[in-house]
Structure 1
Amino acid sequence: MARIIGGIGTSHVPTIGVAYDKGRQEDPVWAPLFEGYKPVAKWLAEKQPDVLLFFYNDHATTLFFDLYPTFALGVGERFPIADEGAGLRGLPDIRGDVDFQAHIGEALVNEEFDLAFFQNKPIDHGIASPLPLLWPHEPDWPGTVVPIAINVLQYPLPTARRCYRLGQAVRRAVESYPEDLKVVVVGTGGLSHQIHGERTGFNNTEWDLDFLETLRDDPERLTQLTHADYVRLGGAESVEQIMWLAMRGALGASLEEMHRNYYLMTTTAMTVVTYEERENAAVGSQREREVA
């Protein structure tokens, strides 16, 4: 059967993609961020997952406010990467596995998650910004992607608990798929940041680090927080943390945190964390933490 071997939490700000495309990996302001992804890419190269399943949010690119679903699943063999104003990127279309995507969709609907489905739509920086930092792409991506978009833009938003339960349902869906696939679940979005209003530039590193510890060890506690709690603690855009909870819900109770890089850059806490299912982790491995 298909199985989940680990998870990744990552920022997805569009400037990461712009900096990557412009070859700014060695610039002093960007180097700490890009260096932080190298152990993650190495881990993925070693584990060779067949699928990256993304919980992310669309930024009015694939979807729009006149019809913006709570949860949406992409089904298709290929998804173009959106031009978000900086020009077309030199990346191949994102690959999909229709049979696996359709199975996930049917399983979630049967668990009473009322999904929307999209096809032939471009995917924006919610996935495309971190993806080339995780996987090589020449001449093509080494595996397929399952894109699951979560509404964190237009209220009412799904609760933190609902997103966590979505992740749990996704795990059951994956494990009921008969083919032998290795899956890594990715939750994207910023930790503390606010990019508009009176608190523009707000960050809360203490909260960010507490969130990461609690996400690993006691995620149920985070499901009790309201959207107002997340906004108060981390800024308006930090409500994206509920997508990390969806990722965590898809993982087992016992995890090994293999790598963490936290880099506070301008207005956003740029973070990438890798978790491995405990039964798949090497005995005695130590968590690698890089805090720049």
Structure 2
Amino acid sequence: MANIIGGITTSHIPAIANAMANGLEDTPYWKPFFDGYPPVRDWLNEKKPDVIILFYNDHGLEFFIDKKPTFAIGVADEYHNADEGWGIPTIPPVTGESDLSWHIANSLVEDGFDMTICQEMKVDHGLTVPLNLMWPGHNYGHVKVIPVCINCEQHPMPQPKRTFALGQAIGRAVQSFDDDLKVAVFGTGGMSHQLDGERAGIINREFDLMCLDKLVSDPEDLTKYSNFDLAEIAGAQGVELNMLIAMRGCLIGDVKELHRNYHAPISNTGSGLMLLEHTMPEK
């Protein structure tokens, strides 16, 4: 069967791509952030996953406010980044994995999730920045990616209890896939942050660290929060925690924390990096 070997949480701030492109990783502002990534890169290079299931939120590139699916999954063979408003970045396309993604899509619909299934799909920094963080220089072409997009911008948005259930359903779908594939799951996005309004710049470090602890030991406890709670406690964009919760839901077996790094503020955002090793349960 396909095997989920681990889960990773990471930021997807667009400024990260600019810092990497301009060689700023060792500057005082960025160094505490980038210093957290070598152990995760080493693990990925050692384990060599075949497929990445990547939870992210689209920031208006593929899905704007006039058409906003609650949950969308890509089933294409290739995904391209496109102009997000500051010029088209010259980065390579992302390789898709159509067989497993179609299997997951069918399984999710049977499991009661009304997914938007995308045979063509542009992907933004929410997906490409995490891949570049793990394989610098955009050297991610060897790994196949299944994008899963969660609405974190336009109300109504799915609640943490629903995103966790989505992750659990994806975990079961992977378990039921017969091909021998190694799968890693990425939950991407900021932790506490608010980018505009009277509370712009809010960082709730204590809450962020508690969430990282709970993602290891008691993820279902995080599902007691509503999106309103998250906005109040962690800022308006703190709802991106839903991607981390969905990732953790996919880990339906035993979990062991291997690495963690938390740093704030990077672009006025709490950035949590975590590597969780996972052992699938027996069928």
Q: Same fold (TM over 0.5)?
A: yes
Residue identity in the other structure for 2:110: N
Whether 1:179 aligns to 2:165 is: no
Aligned to 1:288: none
* Secondary structure of the corresponding residue to residue 245 of structure 2: helix
Contact 1:17 1:130 in 2 (8 A): no
Q: How does 1:183-262 map to 2 (within 5 A)?
A: 183-262=183-262
Runs of 4+ in 1 over 6 A off after TM superposition: none
Q: How does 1:57-72 map to 2 (within 5 A)?
A: 57-72=57-72
Q: Aligned-pair distance for 1:97?
A: 1.2
Residue identity in the other structure for 2:271: M
CA distance in 2, matches of 1:139, 1:24: 19
Aligned to 1:147: 147
- CA RMSD in angstroms, aligned pairs only: 1.7
CA distance in 2, matches of 1:260, 1:157: 28
Deviates more, 1:20-29 or 1:39-48: 20-29
CA distance in 2, matches of 1:262, 1:139: 25
CA distance in 2, matches of 1:13, 1:261: 16
Q: Between Structure 1 and Structure 2, how many residues are aligned? A: 280
Residue identity in the other structure for 1:268: T
Q: Note the residue ranges of structure 2 that are not aligned, 5 or more in a row.
A: none
Residue identity in the other structure for 1:257: E
CA distance in 2, matches of 1:200, 1:12: 18
Contact 2:95 2:142 in 1 (8 A): no
Whether 1:51 aligns to 2:51 is: yes
Deviations 1:5-57 (A, max 9, x none): 10001111111112112222222211221221111111100110001101110
Contact 2:252 2:280 in 1 (8 A): no
Please report the TM-score for the alignment, with normalisation by the length of structure 2: 0.94
Q: Aligned-pair distance for 1:175?
A: 0.9
Contact 1:54 1:186 in 2 (8 A): yes
Deviations 1:233-258 (A, max 9, x none): 11110011011110000013531111
Whether 1:163 aligns to 2:163 is: yes
Aligned to 1:275: 276
Contact 2:4 2:279 in 1 (8 A): no
Deviates more, 1:211-220 or 1:271-280: 271-280
Aligned to 1:91: 91
Residue identity in the other structure for 1:164: F
Residue identity in the other structure for 1:102: W
Q: Aligned-pair distance for 1:74?
A: 0.9
Contact 2:50 2:182 in 1 (8 A): yes
Deviates more, 1:40-49 or 1:76-85: 76-85
* Secondary structure of the corresponding residue to residue 32 of structure 2: helix
Residue identity in the other structure for 1:28: P
Q: Aligned-pair distance for 1:262?
A: 0.7
Contact 2:168 2:252 in 1 (8 A): no
* Secondary structure of the corresponding residue to residue 220 of structure 1: helix
Aligned to 2:18: 18
Q: Aligned-pair distance for 1:278?
A: 5.1
Contact 2:3 2:280 in 1 (8 A): no
CA distance in 1, matches of 2:22, 2:9: 24
* Secondary structure of the corresponding residue to residue 233 of structure 1: helix
Contact 2:39 2:259 in 1 (8 A): yes
Contact 2:79 2:123 in 1 (8 A): yes
Contact 1:258 1:274 in 2 (8 A): yes
